[in-house]
Structure 1
């Protein structure tokens, strides 16, 4: 209220969540208890999109061939983490869609990015069934597309989670926990990258060192043999 006149409340999430409907006939008050749903939306998305999907990418990046050769395990772990992350993230995304109402335009960017994330994640899941064989000529292009979409998806996830935290305004421990999670994942990636490059250079150095220690093949003399003096040889034989 300003100067005796009613004004619209600020378009903040807390004001939308606290609205109630009063039935003037029976004086019944009803309201949507959406605060718990918003928390569930945030927790599921952080767990699914923000943690399990990056773990699946790490498994594929570092445990497929190099530096750790886990050919029998990495694919199962990669697909399992991606399916779990997709399922949990989709559940959180669906809760977020159910929370939209006539004021969804206030959080339009967060909503649009969320839809893009779901679309790209679904595309990545379908890529499992559309994967060409190793000897297929289109396999190279499929790998480029799969990697590009995957890293784009991870970038959008981080951006949208921070947008969601800014909208929800939970206790600071939420943001600190997610930042700690990012630091943990980043530290693991950095350590594995160091191991990857160290092993790469060590293998190349060892190969070069072994090549240097191989003795060269014996060289044949390029000089023509000395001519034999036939007369002296005949005298020596008494002829």
Structure 2
């Protein structure tokens, strides 16, 4: 059960949700397709996050797995993700006066959720004394994500300079 919690969490928070963030940041020129992909992928990632929380609750109750920092950060990230979903339903029109504020809220809460999710994955891999395969596996996944984001950021910068 512990392994499943970790695998589902890493897939959701370490793979699927970052892909959705990358789509929103770097593929807006494919309007409105980027939005539908972003929303759908984030919903799938949220579903993985929900399953991760359920597995975590089962670990806590059945195995008395008491890891307060990991659990607290996980709950915080999950609350942020719920707020992100609620924001979708409260999203003002593009020409609304408060759209800029909504964009700031949505972007920064999303960044905060991803930052804490990443920290939580690393924290738990370390605290669990997981084998090298977990550290290497997540390290490769995280590294690929960072390299892809850097390449896309450079390409976007070069495109703006033209």
Query: What TM-score range do you get, normalising by the shorter chain?
Result: over 0.9
Q: CA–CA distance in 2 between the matches of 1:197 and 1:50?
A: 25
> Which residue is 2:13 aligned to?
49
- Pick one of 79, 99, 124 that aligns with 2:59: 99
> Which residue is 1:113 aligned to?
73
- Pick one of 111, 129, 134 that aligns with 1:151: 111
In the TM superposition, what is the alpha-carbon distance from 1:103 to its structure 2 partner? 5.1
Q: CA–CA distance in 1 between the matches of 2:60 and 2:44?
A: 25
Q: Which has the higher helix share?
A: 2
Q: CA–CA distance in 1 between the matches of 2:157 and 2:14?
A: 27
Which protein has the larger Cα radius of gyration, Structure 1 or Structure 2?
A: 1
* Kept after mapping to 2: 8 A contact 1:113/1:160: yes
Q: CA–CA distance in 2 between the matches of 1:166 and 1:197?
A: 36
- Pick one of 107, 131, 138 that aligns with 1:171: 131
> Which residue is 1:63 aligned to?
27
Please identify runs of 4+ aligned residues in structure 1 that moved more than 6 A.
none
> Which residue is 2:32 aligned to?
72
How many residue pairs match? The answer is 161
> Which residue is 2:149 aligned to?
189
> Which residue is 1:27 aligned to?
none
* Kept after mapping to 2: 8 A contact 1:114/1:160: yes
For 1:16-69, what per-residue CA distance to the aligned partner results, in whole angstroms no more than 9, with x for missing partners?
Answer: xxxxxxxxxxxxxxxxxxxxx0000000000011111111010000101xxxx2
In the TM superposition, what is the alpha-carbon distance from 1:166 to its structure 2 partner? 1.9
Higher relative contact order (Cα pairs below 8 Å, separated by 6+ residues): 2
- TM-score, normalised by the number of residues in structure 2: 0.94
Q: CA–CA distance in 2 between the matches of 1:39 and 1:167?
A: 14
